[in-house]
Amino acid sequence: KRIILVGPPGSGKGTQSPLIKDEYCLCHLATGDMLRAAVAAKTPLGIKAKEAMNKGELVSDDLVVGIIDEAMKKPSCQKGFILDGFPRTVVQAQKLDDMLAKQGAKVDKVLNFAIDDAILEERITGRWIHPSSGRSYHTKFAPPKTPGVDDVTGEPLIQRKDDTAVVLKSRLEAFHMQTEPVIDYYSKNGLVANLHAEKPPKEVTVEVQKALS
Ligand code: AP5
Ligand code: ZN
């Protein structure tokens, strides 16, 4: 399957992704994770993306379309994939359709992580991540076994630079202005399943499974 996850910052896309991936054996392509890795490695891409990311603004369409085009060529992504955080503009959605059409493929499902903005600040400011795997925790909702330490590797957890109440405001504005139209774009084709993303993680997982079955 070719699945897209759309939702505002903190809506649970990254939390649900590994579960979907394990169940359907797909590759997980998260543009945010890929961009953060590029910023940390100070690659030319990372240098171009850093400023917009720290301000909570979107990186240019050309940069992210380039990353996805490259990543989708991986053999492990040929049978299907989960796109987490892409497409985030209507232009990106159109480019994705073009890329898939060249392979005779199309998007199968769009999972819309619908949630009220008011819940998101607590989720974002309490998040801790394990940078190399992308695993995320929450001080209140999903605490690691040992505070500040990844359960699997024992490595330290960090907070994302854009996970502040101030930057969240810009990220939400970008979501409403630029990404919500993507949901309308796919609704026209009847591909969108709306999830109750404010529910506890396990209940959201059940909704995801229903939407994909
Ligand atoms: P990106 O990394 O994609 O960030 P985002 O969209 O803001 O989403 P988040 O990762 O913050 O949220 P999430 O839904 O994954 O939440 P999570 O599951 O971790 O993008 C970052 C930046 O990169 C962008 O601002 C932009 O600059 C750039 N970028 C990326 N893609 C781009 C693109 N296509 N075009 C242009 N620019 C792009 O959950 C959050 C917390 O809540 C966690 O602590 C978790 O444990 C907890 N939690 C999760 N679910 C629940 C639940 N059900 N109940 C209680 N707690 C929960
Ligand atoms: Zn995420």
123 is catalytic: no
Q: Which of 59, 65, 172 to mutate to test the pocket of ligand 1 (most atoms within 8 A of CB)?
A: 59
Q: Tell me if 148 is assigned to some domain.
A: no
Q: Tell me if 159 is assigned to some domain.
A: no
Short-list 108, 90, 102, 112, CA closest to 189: 108
Burial of 150 (0-12, 13-18, 19+ CB in 10 A): buried
What is the token pair recorded at 15? 């939390």
Q: Tell me if 139 is assigned to some domain.
A: no
- What pLDDT shows up at residue 133? 85
Q: What is the DSSP string of 120-132?
A: HHHHHHTEEE-TT
Q: Tell me if 156 is assigned to some domain.
A: no
Who wins on pLDDT, 133 or 47? 47
Q: Tell me if 128 is assigned to some domain.
A: no
Instruction: Provide the domain count of the chain.
Output: 1
pTM of the model: 0.96
Can you give the CATH number for the domain in which 103 is found?
3.40.50.300
- What's the rounded mean pLDDT across residues 26-35? 92
Per-residue pLDDT for 143 more than 90?
yes
Q: Tell me if 31 is assigned to some domain.
A: yes
- What pLDDT shows up at residue 76? 84
Compute the distance from residue 127 Cα to the ligand 1 centre, in Å: 10
Per-residue pLDDT for 25 more than 80?
no
Q: Tell me if 71 is assigned to some domain.
A: yes
Compute the distance from residue 11 Cα to the ligand 2 centre, in Å: 8
Contact 20, 3 (CB under 8 A): yes
Per-residue pLDDT for 134 more than 90?
no
Q: Tell me if 82 is assigned to some domain.
A: yes
210 is catalytic: no
| ipTM over the 0.85 cut-off | yes
Q: Which domain holds residue 63?
A: 2-116+174-212
